[in-house]
Structure 1
């Protein structure tokens, strides 16, 4: 990937970040139906009580969700709890953008390594 392409890719994810993790007020339990602009390929309904589905929803929202989707569907406590594993699933760019913006995520990953 060219440097300017990488910079645009990083900026795409930066624009979707909440101002703080406190803005992540999504549900912690139950079924969540993602809109088609987020879950355009594959599953659209995830059960947050099932760890694999919860991880899938978070991965999908981090990659495809817009700013309002991130705040609506992600939950701060779940994100922080899952981050050490989730960070390995989202790819380098998403991981770097989120950890740069929220050092507590990087610290959580280091603490569980």
Structure 2
């Protein structure tokens, strides 16, 4: 996936507060997410990972949060998306094995 960032340090999205996703990501259902609520955070990350492009990944995802929530989050993704991220970032594969 050429749209993936080169490194997790490029993921500098918010770590707290409320985020409203643009329509090109969340075109139906919930668009606003309180990052203090783990269920909402995971839902937002799932939407961005499944529907996003490079600009979305770097704007809405945080590298540290992605790694810490990856063991649960990876189960919410399709095999292709999960494999693409784990193939690019070994730390995600390691987090899921821990």
Q: For the superposition of Structure 1 and Structure 2, which TM-score range results when normalised by the shorter chain?
A: over 0.9
Aligned pair count?
Answer: 98
Higher helix share: 1
Length-normalised TM-score, structure 2? 0.97
Q: How does 1:69-108 map to 2 (within 5 A)?
A: 69-108=56-95
Gaps of 5+ in 1: 1-13
Question: Who is 2:55 aligned against?
Answer: 68
Length-normalised TM-score, structure 1? 0.85
Write the distance in 1 (CA, Å) between the matches of 2:70 and 2:77. 10
Question: Who is 1:53 aligned against?
Answer: 40
Does residue 12 of structure 2 align to residue 25 of structure 1? yes
Does residue 29 of structure 2 align to residue 42 of structure 1? yes
Gaps of 5+ in 2: none
Structure 1 residues 69-109: Cα deviation after superposition (integer angstroms, max 9, x where no partner): 01000000100000000000011111000000001100111
Question: Who is 1:4 aligned against?
Answer: none
Where do 4+ consecutive residues of structure 1 move more than 2 Å?
none
1:66 shift after superposition? 1.4
1:15 shift after superposition? 2.4
